[in-house]
Amino acid sequence: MNIQRARSAHAKYEYGCDLRRLYPWAGVANPFWGAAIASVRVGEKTSLHGHDESETFLVLSGQGRLTIDGESEVLEQGDIVFIPKGAQHEFENLSPTATLDFLTIFWDSPEARQAIATKLANNEHDL
């Protein structure tokens, strides 16, 4: 059984938030997508950035203002949003007392596409 215990998890400050990467999980699972739990500190927002992959956020707790390519919406616990490949986005924590926590799932990167193509070219079908 493989378990990542929350009490011993290590987050790294990336994109202006504390990011705990879940997948790929070294030595356990290397899917063609990735996932992380992100936490935006009180009074902060993620850096404005874009990716070469598509992304979805699921808000786990808190309330924040998400801006995608200049369009903003307030999101709260349970809300889900799709962020298209290349879209510039930032997520601002609106709470004066609590972190903004969300799950991010990302897929369709150039690296993943190449890995899939290589597996198929080698007649490997365990995608």
Q: Which residues contact 61 (CB under 8 A, 6 or more apart)?
A: 77, 98, 99, 100, 101
Residue 31 is predicted with a pLDDT of 84
Domain span including residue 101: 6-121
Query: Is residue 126 domain-resident?
Result: no
DSSP 8-state symbol, 46: P
Cα(110)–Cα(82) distance, integer angstroms: 19
The string of pLDDT tens digits covering residues 63-116 is 999 999 999 999 999 999 999 999 999 999 999 999 999 999 998 887 878 888
Q: Assess if residue 73 is contained within a domain.
A: yes
Query: Would you say residue 58 lies in a domain?
Result: yes
Instruction: Kindly state whether residue 127 falls inside one of the protein's structural domains.
Output: no
Domain count, the chain: 1
Residue 19 lies inside a defined structural domain of this protein = yes
Could you report the per-residue pLDDT of 29-50, keeping only the tens digit for each?
A: 888 889 999 999 999 999 999 9
Average pLDDT over residues 6-12: 88
Higher per-residue confidence, 61 vs 32: 61
Which CATH number do you get for residue 90? 2.60.120.10
At CA 52, angle to CA 47 and CA 56, rounded to 5?
70
Whether the CA torsion 59, 62, 63, 67 is positive or negative: it is: negative
Q: What's the sign of the alpha-carbon dihedral 51, 53, 54, 57? A: negative
**Of residues 57 and 25, more confidently modeled:** 57
Q: Tally the C-alpha atoms within 13 A of residue 106's C-alpha that lie toward its C-beta.
A: 26
User: Residue 1 falls within a domain, yes or no?
Assistant: no
More confident residue, 27 or 96: 96
